[in-house]
Amino acid sequence: MLQRRQSLALLLPLAGCATPPPPVQQASVVSPPVDTRLLYCVPYARERSGIQLSGDGWQWWEAATERYARAHRPEPGAVLVFRQTSRLVDGHVAVVARILSGREIRVDHANWDSRRGGGPISLDQPVVDVSAANDWSAVRVWYPPGELLGTTVFPTAGFVLPRAPNAAATQT
């Protein structure tokens, strides 16, 4: 009997772990509207930037030749083109929402987690230039499930700008 009481005494503190937490009160703050569409990155970037290119994300850099200006520095509204890798077999494209510094931008993009049938639209997501030459050829991207900057370094081609190549001096 004593041994049974000791066993219960040891298990009693663990019982609190199985108790569900009390319900969370809803905040009275109104959240901005959320775009719940599931899209691939290319149609989203095309819609958001106005840049009319097609093909997989990694193909946008070459596809932009003689059609759109290209640069190795971000501009709001430009599309960052991710190169094809084993993790990004189709590459990826993301639209520059704003510039925070010479090494950090925020992007809007869709399907960053590469779901079949498209993925969620993620707004104002951090992207950091980690290239040795400070030329945006290698970046780290925010990882929403972990709420942190991802550890993977992704190679990029550069930025496709939403204007003709001769509309302004192109940074190369």
- What is the per-residue pLDDT across 68-91, written as a single tens digit (0 to 9) for each? 999 999 999 999 999 999 999 999
User: In this structure, is the dihedral angle defined by the CA atoms of residues 51, 82, 85 and 150, taken in order, positive or negative?
Assistant: negative
What value does the mean pLDDT take over residues 122-126? 93
What value does the mean pLDDT take over residues 96-100? 97
Which residue type, as a one-letter code, is found at position 110? Answer: A
Average pLDDT, whole number, for the chain?
82
Could you tell me the pLDDT band of residue 116, with boundaries at 50, 70 and 90? low
Q: How far apart are CA 102 and CA 169, in angstroms?
A: 19
- Domain ranges in the chain are 41-160
Could you tell me the pLDDT band of residue 35, with boundaries at 50, 70 and 90? low
Reported pTM: 0.76
User: 3-state DSSP call for residue 118?
Assistant: coil
Pick the CATH number of 41-160 from 3.90.1720.10, 1.10.3720.10, 3.40.50.620, 3.90.25.10: 3.90.1720.10
Beta strands in the chain (DSSP E): 70-71, 79-82, 92-101, 104-110, 121-129, 138-143, 148-149, 154-160
